Structure 1
Amino acid sequence: MVRGKTEVRRIENATSRQVTFSKRRNGLLKKAFELSVLCDAEVALIVFSSRGKLYEFSSSSMEKTIDRYIMHTKDVGVSKKAKEHNTQQLKSDTASLMKKIERLEASKRNLLGENLESCAVEELHELELQLERSLSSIRKQKYQMLEEQITQLKEKERMLTASIREKLNAKPRLQLCASAVSEDYDSPNTDVETELVIGRPGTCKVK
């Protein structure tokens, strides 16, 4: 026989309500015990009857389980608040950065000579001063780089000049040595001795 669905609502009859409470309470305590044993879970169950009587079950220690529950709910609450605070801070930082980017873009366009119609006289004067300061800094950097290049070129010129002078000073000495060698070969006073041997060695020599 198929049992129909029981409507879950308060039982008006006091006796039936008390009997149902006892049965369901015992079944609930049994299920809590089985859950703690089968799944190695920390289970704590607290039931107060309509008359205020306490029924409880704990797989370890009710006080420790309650303390653990309180700490867990505190950590969850703090974590949730921290996440909400971080989200709000990120939204605020994003909005601030977007405004800063918009201001920088507008300033860039103004420096390029665009959208000047919305600028006041004081703003145009400030732009002019800023451009003059930028030009002065650019010119200073350019002159400094030119001076460094000129210094490097002068150093290269000095080294090349010294190298050329050394080569020119060495050329006359080479010419002088070549002339001395030529004179030695061309001198008429140079005697060359030769020996001619006729016959057996040691018998006769002709000079």
Structure 2
Amino acid sequence: MTKHKIEIKKIENIAARQVAFSKRRRSLFKKAGELSTLCDAEVALLVFSATGKLFQHSSSSVEQVVEMHKNMHSSIDKSSYHPPMELQMRNEVADKTHELRQLNGEELQELKFQELMKLEERLLKGLTRVLKAKDERMANDITVLAKKGVDLMQENKKLLQIADEKEQA
């Protein structure tokens, strides 16, 4: 009898789900034991059932493996440790949010005089760009409106001529 691939989705039947959980849990623990034996690795596996019951497997003891994990992470040189991408993105978002608040005139207490001068310079450059864009937009709008005005004057002239011709006839 060959094994066939099943679709991975939640099993709706509660009894069937419990049977599958038990079988797969045993298989998972067996694989963890094989990994530990074959590779001489310390393995700790914690599984919580849907009812909240804890099942654990460990090559030595779960507490020893967890303690080993804690010791490894506390001894890592922080300068050579690169946090996961998500943490980097969160930090970058926090930095940019802080920078935006400073640009809005908030959270300025910790800035030194030189930093305040640089912030002022950035704001002035930005304001200059905003004023330039506004002036260009306004000049463009004035040009468009002037063209519409000329078109309306010509239309008005035509209508006056037509009215004069009808009056004379």
- Category of TM-score, reference length = shorter chain: 0.3 to 0.5
TM norm structure 1: 0.36
TM norm structure 2: 0.43
Higher relative contact order (CA 8 A, sep 6+): 2
